[in-house]
Structure 1
Amino acid sequence: MPHNLYNIRRRVSVQDNLDPIVVGIDIGLTFTGVAFSTMDMESPNVIDHWPPHTKKVSKKVPTQLCYRAGHRGITHWGFSCPQGNLAPGMRVLDRFKLYLDENFLEDTFRNSPDNKVGAHEDVKTWYLDFLTEIYEYTASYICKILQLSHWESKTVKFTFSVPTTWDDSVIQLFGELVRKAGFGKHRRHSVVIDLSEAEAAAVYTIKSLNHHRIVSIWDDRESDHEVSIERPQLQKGDVILVCDSGGGTTDISILQVRSIESFNDRDDNTEEIAELRRLDSVDYYPSSSADKQNCRPRPCSVPQAVGSVQIDEAFRREALKRFSLIRKDEIQNISTLQVSEAMSKGAHFQSIKGHFGTRVVRDWKEFRVPVPGLPDEYNNADSQIRDGRMVFEMKYMRELFDTQVQRIFSAIDEQLRHFEKLNPSSHVSYFVLSGGLGSSKYVQDCILNRYGHPDSGRHILISDQPQLAVCKGLVIDQVHRLRYQESIVSTRCCRSSYGILFHEPVESRNSDLSWKIPLSINPIDGSKYAVDQIFWLIRRGEPVNRNKPVCQRFYRMVDIRKPETHWRDIIAVSKMRADHLPTNLHDGDVERIFQIVSELDRKLLTEGQNGVERKTKWVGWKAKEYWKMTLEVRVYIEMASLRFEIWCAGKRIGLLHPGNGIPQSYELGEEDWDNPTQVQGLILDD
């Protein structure tokens, strides 16, 4: 038994004390990582044995599937997928992660439709098949390690990360596929899609500072840095730049330490945790005159198509180019397309790429990659093949890396310029590198040499396990929330503004009403109201606390003789700048999208109930009696959805959509708007 598994079993109780179990899944472009923890574990553990090599330590599993013509479903997945020349009718699918975004899929192959990997429906099938395998193996692995006999009866919370590039519709689709694959299918199991990959990496950084080291340049020799014995000590106000460079994308995020909070665990041990707030991806601004006219937002932080896969792809193209220099009769028995791809993904090239920048390969002048299908005695000067191996100068590997490094520099510099423009009195205190490409010694040295000068005031942090930062960060955040009911990343923002329609007394207005705004006489109090006014609950680009709902008090009048117990309140959305939002439904770029259906229990309509007050209003010579119902509108912001609720007298009476919340892309059709403007409506509570 591996030593780390023995330690897991020793640290936890075998049965009831295991609840709940948190499982974090990071579906990567090239590899997928899974971490898990119980409330009793000191830190998350990762699944480090994958089929078919269950005795070999592998921290991640390849995100790949193998299909065969005429065979229903997959034939292999992960490490078991064949490499090199495939048998007739076989196909290995990998690197399909970003294609779940249909727009990205279409844009990628717009100019080369013949090379398209498949239709969007195919991508969804690949996702479902891969997620199903991940679920089944994860469940069996955790049951074995934690000695569980009844998996379905345990409380299990699955948490997933998503790319920052995905909009809410793609995240919603991803969530549907996750649940179809089996995650959350049991009564005590649930699924959370609550953090982006960059946020999860930041959480891991904050909670695992003892597993990060500060690096600094100690002499002028190229590609050398020393590990400082100093460990980072975060303080309130520190600004952290996280560079999460993985297989396919590089995401630059900037966060600030909002506070250092002390928490007491179940054993009354005190733990100090930094609470973060996002400083990027919250300010959306127009980038062109067309955007200004249409009020289209553009995020400040856009993940770049930079990663280790781009190095593999450039190498594959070079190998394919060299094959074109060989006479066809010499290589008629091999598929150059398959072989060049196998070379780029093979263990030999990947090992050299992983060690590039280290002392292991520093003195190499060249490297050789075996060509599958060629005999060892084969030589070809034009294609630079010797003894069945394709030969490359070491400077070529440097060129491959430098192309990606320069693009990382550009992304970081752009983000820093924008940050410094908005925060002229602040500066970035720490650089954190995570992800697959971020674990490269060469990339780390390049970042250090460019941004880690002693006079810059910045510290460069390197994680002990940068490739596992996301899946571990997912678990850390959920465990923290279960223990202390708060998230480490405390704020988030929306791409749009969301408000609720209400009625405003005409006499309370200080300016003339627009002729566009409809007016209504309330039959209960006889007063004139401007209807279709909008109270903006969430403003685009402004940080919202994830740990607490956005709350706003209103009241509603209910006739005592003929009480109305069912009604609908309307949610509006706008993409306009937060300082240019319209005040009513008929002015500016705003539209109705949701309706909250409320149902009032008649038992609440009694004197003495909290928030229920009996009122009398004289209309002419006639007295009108009514209930003044104090209502609270609550909005919960999540990764892929918003949840709107209405509360009265301590009870929830209205919910926009039960279950998984409301996707921000959810819209109602025209048939839902056939009712005229309501005579009764919400009134802002002073």
Structure 2
Amino acid sequence: MSAVWSVIVGIDIGLTCTGVAIYYNAPDGRFIVLQQWPGTEDRTTSKVPTRLTYKAGEVDIHSWGFSCPELGNLGPGMAIKDMFKFYLDTYFVKQKFLRASENAPKLKDVKSWYAHFLGALHNHIMHYLQEQLIIDVHLTTIEFVFGIPTIWTDDALLQCFRELVDSAGFAETGTVIMEMTEGEAAAVFTAKSRDHSFEEGEAFMVCDAGGGTTDMCVMQVKKVQEEMVELESLDCPQAIAVGSVDIDEMFQAIAEEQLRILGVVPEDMARLLAHQITRGEFQALKTRFGKRLVASLKNMQLAIPNSNQRINLSRDQLKAMFDTQIQKIIELIDTEIAFLGAHRPDIRLSSIFLAGGLGSSIYVQEHIVEHCINMKVLFAPKPEDLPLAVCKGLVFDRWQHSSNKLPVIPIRNSNASYGILCKELYSKKKHSAQTYTRNPLDGRNYVEKQIDWLVLKNGRRDECVRRMYSLILTADKIIDTWGFSVVRSTLEPTRLPTSLDGKGGATVICHVIADPEADLHDAISSRRRTLTGKKFVFSQVNCELSADIRVGKMEFGIRLTGEGNGTPQALKVQWEENNRLAGREIDGLVRLAVR
């Protein structure tokens, strides 16, 4: 096997297809896109369908990706699961199936689909590294870099995605990295593209129009030095639910209606057949749809499998499908330009770069060019590169980070503040308007539900935070479960509340629970207090809390400071669906000093 020191794998889990880019550091190392997939035989293709096939009575998947049969060739008891990328978001599911809630997928099923697809993807990547690139994966450092859907901002959702990735095998065979949104990754691809050179101070916009969403990033070139480039984000990445799949759904509705009128299949089969036609012949038509085709064809006909009938689609119908999406993309572009004009009048955008599957459409490109007359509209020189912008951008960023100790886009600052609920010793000066409670164990007054902010909005979230706290327990309850709640706020740091006052400034997002079997005996400091002739024995445990709060990652640990207890213990983060946490806050720790 060749001497490979490290491997970077960029993974873009798409709504319709998934892309994987790889860079391996070796004497003959190079950058490649994974193009060999199960079910493609001798063909090479840059992306694999995000698709699974199940068979009744079988727990595991029957097939995945290109190995899945076409809808018209499904065997008895078989079912295909695809288009599930955004179904991890329960709010998205609720809105999408608002009028047909009985058809909404259950979250546990979506997690199962993710687990099976990610597991199959991981196994194939590892097999490819070993068999095709001849890399000893046991002696090589492997980094799996995943793009985060730009539209996902909920911490519980990101944590769920991270856990699914980790449990699929990626965390066991390498290091999982989730720091960059898909929109930011597309921006990195733009900046590192050899065919587009940027100058320091230049500002540009990246519009990544894919299958399910359109992501928008506005960047300024901060530094350019030989092969290294550093970007600065001028606004938080934006995303709207606009993509090529919306066009598919509009056509499918037309096809289904015509199939019912023609009566070529039983009523209950019309939807399935319309879906098959949409995934088949319509994809080719959609891909080559451009102004020349619009001018030359007034009506288009698509074959119906096993029938001499055809689906009729007028030029105006297809044009309207595209125009609806284009109008929303243009509105997003104009909104971002207006934002910059109001908040950064010193910035002048020089260009807009189109990426993604929908962004590779000639028709879409020409309309954006017509609209953005004051900016250059750029595309990748190779059309096939546009759908690969995210996975390539992930690798480019990580490669530069490894080579020059500087990522293309510095680790994103936190877009919110995070803290924990705790108790504090009552202070007349600080807590004059709050109610205190006397602890019967130590006889001291405490105020509850105070917030100790660990990570501040706009601050770095790539460093582990450490704070000192204490626990006050009765001598016979040392092994009881204890914990605390984590809160989040999008207010500016100067306006953050100091307690959970119920005014909406901060929201509980999860609980952190200690292992009830953790041995605290060696760390306790026993104390006695006498009250009206009775003696109380209580225990005080001092501890150091560590918090690692990043994008898609929230980990806590505790190290007891008593004698013989220097080993950190991991704490369990408990998330709940729909964040049903109000009224069940936990503040088991006592802050040792009021800062």
1:120 shift after superposition: 2.3
User: Residue 198 and residue 512 in structure 1: after superposition, are their counterparts in 2 closer, same or farther (change >3 A)?
Assistant: closer
User: What's 2:271 paired with?
Assistant: 337
Q: Is the 8 A contact 1:500 1:534 kept in 2?
A: yes
Q: 1:36-63 deviations in whole A, cap 9, x for unaligned? A: 1113477631111222223212100111
Partner residue of 1:470? Answer: 390
Where does residue 91 of structure 1 map in the other structure? 79
User: Secondary structure at the residue paired with 1:444?
Assistant: helix
Which whole-Å CA distance do the structure 2 matches of 1:132 and 1:595 have between them? 29
Partner SS for 1:55: coil
Matched, 1:352 2:285: yes
Report deviation, 1:406.
Answer: 1.0
2-side partners of 1:493 and 1:584: how far apart? 21
**In the superposition, relative to structure 1, how do residues 573 and 478 fare at CA in structure 2: closer, same or farther (>3 Å)?**
same
Pairing 1:482–2:402 present: yes
| Change beyond 3 A, Cα 1:528–1:91 | closer
Counting only pairs closer than 5 Å after superposition, residues 602-617 of structure 1 correspond to structure 2 as none
User: Is the alpha carbon distance of 1:554 and 1:505 closer, same or farther for their aligned partners in structure 2, counting shifts above 3 Å?
Assistant: farther
Residue 532 of structure 2: aligned partner:
none
Distance 2:397 2:431 in 1: 50
SS in 1 for 2:79: strand
Instruction: Decide which of 210, 216, 232 is 2:194's aligned counterpart.
Output: 210
Number of residue-to-residue matches in the alignment: 556
Checking the alignment, whether the CA contact within 8 Å between 2:54 and 2:78 is kept in structure 1 is: yes
Q: Which amino acid aligns with 1:95?
A: M
Q: Does the CA contact (< 8 Å) of 2:304 and 2:310 recur in 1? A: yes
Q: Which runs of 5+ in 1 are unaligned?
A: 1-13, 212-230, 263-269, 282-300, 376-387, 557-567, 603-630
Per the alignment, in what secondary structure is the counterpart of residue 296 of structure 2? coil
Query: Over the residues paired in the alignment, what is the CA RMSD in angstroms?
Result: 4.5
CA-CA distance at 1:506 after TM superposition: 6.5
1:361–1:582 distance in 2 versus 1, CA, 3 Å: closer
Secondary structure of the structure 1 residue equivalent to 2:43 = strand
> 1:25–1:159: 8 Å Cα contact kept in structure 2?
yes
Does 2:216 match 1:252? Answer: yes
Aligned-partner SS, 1:316: helix
Deviation at residue 335 of structure 1 after TM alignment: 3.4
Closer, same or farther in 2 for the Cα pair 1:365/1:132, shift >3 Å?
A: same
Matched, 1:543 2:508: no
Q: 1:300-324, CA deviations, whole angstroms, 9 ceiling, x for partnerless residues?
A: x3x3221111111111111112223
Q: Is the 8 A contact 1:306 1:407 kept in 2?
A: yes
- How is 1:183-202 mapped onto 2 (pairs within 5 angstroms)? 183-186=170-173, 189-202=174-187
- Alpha-carbon spacing, 1:532–1:500, altered in 2? closer, same or farther (3 Å): closer
Counterpart in 1 of 2:433? Answer: 514
Q: Distance in 2 between matches of 1:44 and 1:117?
A: 40
For 1:139-158, list aligned pairs within 5 A. 139-148=126-135, 150-158=136-144
**Unaligned regions of 5+ residues in structure 2, if any?**
471-481, 523-542
Q: Helix, strand or coil for the counterpart of 1:183?
A: helix
After superposition, the C-alpha distances for 1:486-517 in whole angstroms (9 at most, x for unaligned) are 4324323234443686979969x6x8943546
1:79-115 per-position Cα deviation (integer Å, ceiling 9, x unaligned): 222224344333222111111222322332231134x
Give yes or no for contact 2:556–2:571 (8 Å, CA) kept in 1: no
1:321 aligned partner: 257
1:437 and 2:351 correspond: no
| Preserved CA contact (<8 Å) 1:640 1:664 | no
Amino acid at match of 2:231: E
Question: Deviation at 1:405?
Answer: 0.6
Q: What secondary structure sits across from 1:478 in the alignment?
A: helix
What is the CA deviation profile of residues 396-429 of structure 1, one whole-angstrom value per residue up to 9, with x for unaligned ones?
Answer: 3222111111121222233333343333443433
Task: Give the deviation of 1:344 after TM superposition.
Answer: 0.9
Does the aligned pair in 2 maintain the 1:502–1:682 contact within 8 Å?
Answer: no
Match in the other structure for 2:476? none
Using the size of structure 2 for normalisation, the TM-score is 0.78
Q: Tell me the CA shift for residue 33 of structure 1.
A: 0.7
Residue 138 of structure 1 aligns with an amino acid whose one-letter code is: I
Q: Where do 1:5-44 residues align within 5 Å? A: 14-15=1-2, 17-40=3-26, 44=31
Instruction: Tell me if the contact between 1:553 and 1:633 (Cα under 8 Å) persists in the aligned partners.
Output: yes
1:182 is aligned, of 165, 169, 191, to 169
CA change 1:515–1:142 in 2 (3 A) is closer
1:200 CA drift (Å)? 1.6
Amino acid at match of 1:310: D
CA contact (8 A) 2:354 2:379 kept: yes
Contact persistence 1:65–1:130 (CA under 8 A): yes
Q: 2:23 touches 2:32 (CA, 8 Å); kept in 1? A: yes
Q: Does structure 2 conserve the Cα–Cα contact (< 8 Å) formed by 1:159 and 1:192? A: yes
| Paired residue secondary structure (2:41) | strand
The 8 Å contact of residues 513 and 574 in structure 2, kept in 1 or not, is answered as: no
Indicate whether 1:57 and 2:44 are aligned. Answer: yes
